[in-house]
Structure 1
Amino acid sequence: MKWAVTRISNTMEYAAAAVLMLMMLHIVIDVIAKYLFSTSIPGTLDVVANYYMVATVYLPVAFVELRGRSISVDLFYQWFPDPMKYLARVFGTAVSILFFSLLAYQTSIDAVQSFAKGEFVDGAYIVITWPARFVLPISFGLVVIVLLVRIVHELRSIEDTPLVPVDHDIETESLYEGVE
């Protein structure tokens, strides 16, 4: 399971990189056309805002989470004893699962509604936007799967986490006196 999640997350990262390259190419061609031929590619701004940007931002979220590179604040975490660090990791992962599950659920409802309406942007040119709405629930769903794999790993590693800190100092020693 972990292998499959890693593969899919990596694929999403590569897809985001490909979309980014495609966006750069699209914009460069639009700028060249604008200055050399006094015309531009129709709907460039709408396609960039509704497709390229969404894909480059949300497709790699699972990859970032899998690598443990998401934003975190560990102001007090470094001072926690090992059992408290373990509990903080499990609690943080559980809360993240709940948060991303809610995001995946709501964005999937929004995507289905957008599909049912045939959502589009009506500017100088009509750009159909409903397909891009499905990027979010897919990305958030994959993050939930990554987090589920992580919490299973954390819960399985409970045997590796000592209940009493191994390198305790004299002050901590007095806390555990008489406890056997």
Structure 2
Amino acid sequence: MISIGKALSGLVSAASFISTICIVLMMLHVTADVTFRYLLNQPLPGTLTIVAHYYMIIVTFVALGVAEKQNAHITVEVIAEMLPPVVQRVLGWLSFVLTAGVFMLLAWRGFEIAMSKTKIGAAIEQGSDMIPVWQSYWAVPIGAGLFALVAVYKLIVDAFGTRNGLSPQLDDLEMLHD
């Protein structure tokens, strides 16, 4: 199980790296566009389309698995904290199942849309140019699929009480504590 967790952790780290690269590229691209626009009166063609259809989509969806791996989602536990530990655990499992189910559906539907956009070679007209955007549609099924995989894995690990391998530092600390 730990090797699966380490593989998922590697995929999540790769997704995080890709998202970080996109943030840096977006920053440089927008800065160059503003610089060229105001200094040379010559904006970079397609900046708005590339930012909206590539950088933002990739940053938003590809990094979803990072949030799930790190438990970085917003949770409200006002009532759950008052319930017995067994009920809290069952509610946690239900949460994993619902989360994984929703993101599996999102990944499947995103895959269908990405396939259709790829087949037609979806592009957006920007000035006199056509900018292909079909590639960006793949960020949704990739990100949602990774999120669902991490959620399912966390459910299995929690249900069987095994070490997860997603965050080796925490597992090592728990092992040392035991």
The normalised TM-score by structure 1 is 0.85
Write the mapping of 1:1-180 to structure 2, written as runs, cut at 5 A.
Answer: 1-124=4-127, 125-157=129-161
* Equivalent position amino acid for 1:15 in 2: I
Deviation at 1:71, TM superposition (A): 2.0
* Equivalent position amino acid for 2:145 in 1: G
CA distance in 2, matches of 1:73, 1:109: 33
Structure 1: 5+ residue runs without aligned partners?
A: 159-180
Deviation at 1:23, TM superposition (A): 0.3
CA distance in 2, matches of 1:113, 1:38: 38
Deviation at 1:15, TM superposition (A): 1.1
CA distance in 2, matches of 1:57, 1:112: 20
**Number of residue pairs matched by the alignment:** 158
Match of 1:177 in 2: none
CA distance in 2, matches of 1:25, 1:70: 29
CA distance in 2, matches of 1:58, 1:138: 8
Divergent runs of 4+, >2 A: none
Q: Give SS of 2:131's match.
A: strand
- Alpha-carbon deviations, 1:3-22, whole Å to 9, x = none? 01011101111110110000
* Equivalent position amino acid for 1:101 in 2: M
CA RMSD in angstroms, aligned pairs only: 1.1
Equivalent pair of 2:45/2:126 in contact (CA under 8 Å) = no
The normalised TM-score by structure 2 is 0.86
Higher relative contact order (CA 8 A, sep 6+): 2
Structure 2: 5+ residue runs without aligned partners?
A: 163-178
Equivalent pair of 1:96/1:147 in contact (CA under 8 Å) = yes
Q: Which has the larger radius of gyration?
A: 1
